[in-house]
Structure 1
Amino acid sequence: MTEFKGRAIVTYGRSLMAVVIAHSLSKQGIEVITCDSVGMTAASFSRFTEGNFVHADQADDPRRYLADMVAHVRELKPDDDRPYILIPTFRDGKFLSEHRAKFEGLITLAAADFTSIDQVDPKQHLVETLKPLDIAAPKTFTPTNAEEVKAAVAELTMPALIKAVDEVGGRGIEFFQDKDKLLKRAIERVAKENPPPLLQQAATGEDYCLGVLYENGELRAHMAYHNLQNMPSEGGAGAMRETIDDAPFIRAANTLMKAVGWNGIAEIDFMWSGNPDDEPVIIEVNPRFWAGLFQSVESGVDFPWLLYHLFAYGTVPEASEAVVGTKTRIPVAWAAGAIKQALSAEVDTEGAKQSVRQMIDHVEKGELKSAFASLKTAFGKATNLDEAIALLRVQSRNAKNAKSELMLSEDPMTSLGIFFILSSLARHGKLPPEVTD
């Protein structure tokens, strides 16, 4: 029986971020349990996790979500004094930090204080926090009615953009070259959205992401990467990345994070021309792990372990320098392979085979929305889905003893996390926003 040095609960198990965190902590002898509002997730199939549980969806029922989390945390609390850490993976970090008191005496929450987070997130709070600081930022307005929109547009030069204050991965961003079109659309969105979106001068240059870990406002670990390819192409999340020298971004990051007393991890987005004479412009702060976490760890900066150590022991061990030039990409093809294997001849899926072939074709062409539409059709036609899921569970247990060369191929069953989509369909009657937006 494995003797674990500590236990961690990792949220948002559907994501590759959770798999990266589980892999990192497992290597250090930490027992990892993951959770999500859906049952069949990437992390639940991982050979680096020891269990998982399902909780209410935070967005749909925050009160029940909090009650579920407290109940599971209490149930899973170790009998001894080993470190017991709750690691939020995605947007739940701010909510859990706000309700940190609910977990006192049960588990240690590895997230920055709510007062610090609230100064940088949502985006309109960051705008106010940056005003007295010596940090380059784009001209930004926070209009609440049509008259304020007109005044803001009059001061902006093109290109400019409308940006939702509480979205991720490039969602809610619209770019404009024409003032009249910007004005019309901004009035529409400000009247409709709550909270209203920002109006912002478009910064020149390209997008750069800085991952950081601070200990009470002092920088302890850092690395930066550049998105070589985005999905969608304009303003979306990175699909191919490369690690770069992060020196141009450190001064601004330190100025901001010291001002808000940051304690934990974060990701800071910059726009920069790449010219050493130009100052990078800060765009937003994500108070959580980031989609490029795999890139960070592959570059040599093990943020999950460093974060765990900070909250388990109160200090951050010396971090490695990032290896500049490291490149990674999102393994979309593995998801297609997982579906193809799951709906194999071992189960009765005659009616689904054509839809599966269509899905594979869409994935190979990069047509992800069409691919998942075909996936939904395939599952609707499969006549023995329970047997398929049972088979996947058996394969997952067998894969715990498998070993291969690369981190994610070393944990091949995580690709079966695509089935969180099926769980979402069963529980909520719709595809999750991660694959439809």
Structure 2
Amino acid sequence: MSVLITNASNVKGLVVTQSLGKKGVEITTTDCEYLSAAFFSRYSKHHFLCASPERTQLEFVNSIQNHIKRNKIDVLMPINSTETNLISKYKEKFTPFTKVPFEDFPKMMQLHNKNEVMKLASELDIRIPGTYEINNATDIEKFSKEMEYPVVIKLRNATSSVGISYVYSASEFVSKYKQTIQKFNLKSSEYPIVQEYIPGSGYGVSMLYNQGDIRASFTHKRLREYPITGGPSTLRVSVRNQEMENAARKILDHVNWHGVAMVEFKLDERTNKPVLIEVNPRFWGSVYQAIAAGVNFPYLLYEMALYGDVEPVFNYKVGVKTRFLLNDFRALISHLNNSGHRFTTFKEFFKFYEKDLYYDAFSINDALPAMMFAYKGLKDVLNSRHK
């Protein structure tokens, strides 16, 4: 059986490639970048360049469709947000030729939009940060005087840390909010939401659903992330948190979800209660964390697509850590600058070997992709120093 995996340049794409390839699935990878890491994986039997999903959306869709029509592909598995949304939007172009185990576009957008998720969670009595919706430029000054600081400015439809700003005063808010509107060329209906800052540790509850029925669940805690202000995690650990899992399930049950999703929370250090942050209706950056602990979401999704269902998986090993070393090195300087205990931070960072610690994207039997990530990381550092 065969799978087409997009976003081969990203660590998620490589992790999914390795996960399925180790199970004997024939993998084809694609990306718009020639030196994409997963192209060099021993588990990628075929690869090809596609159009950019960011710059030429319809060309991307057509290039994927044309490859599937010419080749036998059993399952199409988009990885990042842009590609997942596009393939969901044009699903009818693919389903005559392959299986697409992801939700239809309206539901995808419902959970992708942060403002809509907050409204839904509020209706379901799930804790959310204090949230402000601004739809008129004339209201920016008024809201700046009503809010308690710090607050977080967030784009309604964005992933990772794109467009996020942390604000500590009214004057700073007005300036940064207007800058965000201008930078992303937003219409009034697209203005960013503003949320109360929740102090505490971040968590993710990952789930697999089959037409509204839960089939797998996994929870992890973020230990480090890059950027430090709220980017993808670079070090995490598998945990349990029943209250978060119940809240995540409440949302996904309500929308009758299908496919994978990860629901993010903060454990508010002031109350020790979980607060919903957002929903990622796609594969998430720390997908290897679940695989290492015993919940192989990519393979479960693949089997569900092929055979219609899978045996539920709710048990996994607690205390397993995973680390994306390249971004963890990038995070080190930020963590040192923001830590009151630099020696402890430095000492903890250089614990490269410990029980139940595994590394994203690195495998002795599949080392070339990790070398590609290192090469690109070094290139980025040199380019930034040159600029």
Normalising by structure 1, we get a TM-score of 0.74
1:353 aligned residue = none
- Cα offset, 1:7, TM superposition: 0.6
2:78 aligned residue = 88
2:315 aligned residue = 321
Q: 2:52 aligns to what SS in structure 1?
A: coil
1:279 aligned to which of 266, 273, 279: 273
Q: Distance in 1 between matches of 2:124 and 2:64?
A: 38
Q: Distance in 2 between matches of 1:228 and 1:364?
A: 11
- Cα offset, 1:164, TM superposition: 2.1
1:204 aligned residue = 199
Q: 1:258 aligns to what SS in structure 2?
A: helix
Superposition map of 1:279-318 within 5 A = 279-318=273-312
Q: 1:24 aligns to what SS in structure 2?
A: helix
Q: Distance in 2 between matches of 1:294 and 1:239?
A: 11
Q: Distance in 2 between matches of 1:365 and 1:137?
A: 30
Greater mean alpha carbon deviation, residues 296-305 or residues 153-162: 153-162
Q: 1:290 aligns to what SS in structure 2?
A: coil
1:130 aligned to which of 86, 99, 121: 121
Contact 1:46 1:413 in 2 (8 A): yes
RMSD of aligned Cα (Å):
2.8
Give the AA of the match of 2:66: A
Contact 1:230 1:239 in 2 (8 A): yes
2:91 aligned residue = 100
Contact 2:205 2:263 in 1 (8 A): yes
Q: 1:140 to 1:411 in 2, by over 3 A?
A: same
- Cα offset, 1:56, TM superposition: 0.4
- Cα offset, 1:420, TM superposition: 9.0
Q: Distance in 1 between matches of 2:118 and 2:138?
A: 20
Give CA-to-partner distance per residue, 1:368-410, whole Å, 9 cap, x none.
xxxxxxxxxxxxxxxxxxxxxxxxxxxxxxxxxxxxxx96232
- Cα offset, 1:291, TM superposition: 1.0
Greater mean alpha carbon deviation, residues 189-198 or residues 214-223: 189-198
Contact 1:120 1:129 in 2 (8 A): no
Give the AA of the match of 1:326: V
Does residue 143 in structure 1 map to residue 137 in structure 2?
no
Give CA-to-partner distance per residue, 1:59-100, whole Å, 9 cap, x none.
11111111101101111126xxxxx00001111111100100
**Aligned residue pair count:** 351
- Provide structure 2 residue ranges, at least 5 long, that are not aligned to the other structure: 335-360
Q: 1:407 to 1:188 in 2, by over 3 A?
A: closer
- Cα offset, 1:27, TM superposition: 2.7
Q: 1:13 aligns to what SS in structure 2?
A: coil
Give the AA of the match of 1:296: A
Superposition map of 1:17-416 within 5 A = 17-77=12-72, 84-91=74-81, 92-190=83-181, 192-193=183-184, 194=186, 195-273=190-268, 278-319=272-313, 321-332=315-326, 408-416=363-371
Q: 1:191 to 1:325 in 2, by over 3 A?
A: same
1:340 aligned residue = none
Q: Distance in 2 between matches of 1:171 and 1:191?
A: 14
Contact 1:41 1:416 in 2 (8 A): no
Contact 1:70 1:102 in 2 (8 A): yes
Q: Distance in 2 between matches of 1:19 and 1:185?
A: 36
Give the AA of the match of 2:277: I
Greater mean alpha carbon deviation, residues 32-41 or residues 277-286: 277-286
Q: 1:140 to 1:365 in 2, by over 3 A?
A: closer
Q: 1:119 aligns to what SS in structure 2?
A: helix
Give CA-to-partner distance per residue, 1:260-288, whole Å, 9 cap, x none.
1110001111011368x743111111111
Q: 1:206 aligns to what SS in structure 2?
A: strand
Q: 1:89 to 1:186 in 2, by over 3 A?
A: same
- Cα offset, 1:166, TM superposition: 2.9
Q: 1:114 to 1:420 in 2, by over 3 A?
A: farther
Greater mean alpha carbon deviation, residues 255-264 or residues 214-223: 214-223
Q: Distance in 1 between matches of 2:282 and 2:66?
A: 23
- Cα offset, 1:125, TM superposition: 2.6
Normalising by structure 2, we get a TM-score of 0.83
Q: Distance in 1 between matches of 2:9 and 2:268?
A: 35
Q: Distance in 2 between matches of 1:298 and 1:228?
A: 16
Q: Distance in 2 between matches of 1:364 and 1:261?
A: 37
Q: Distance in 2 between matches of 1:72 and 1:421?
A: 27
Give the AA of the match of 1:327: K
Q: 1:103 to 1:363 in 2, by over 3 A?
A: closer
Q: 1:227 to 1:106 in 2, by over 3 A?
A: same
Q: 1:363 to 1:116 in 2, by over 3 A?
A: closer
Greater mean alpha carbon deviation, residues 281-290 or residues 158-167: 158-167
1:398 aligned residue = none
Q: 1:138 aligns to what SS in structure 2?
A: coil
Q: Which has the larger radius of gyration?
A: 1
Contact 2:234 2:327 in 1 (8 A): no
Contact 1:88 1:110 in 2 (8 A): no
Give the AA of the match of 2:9: R
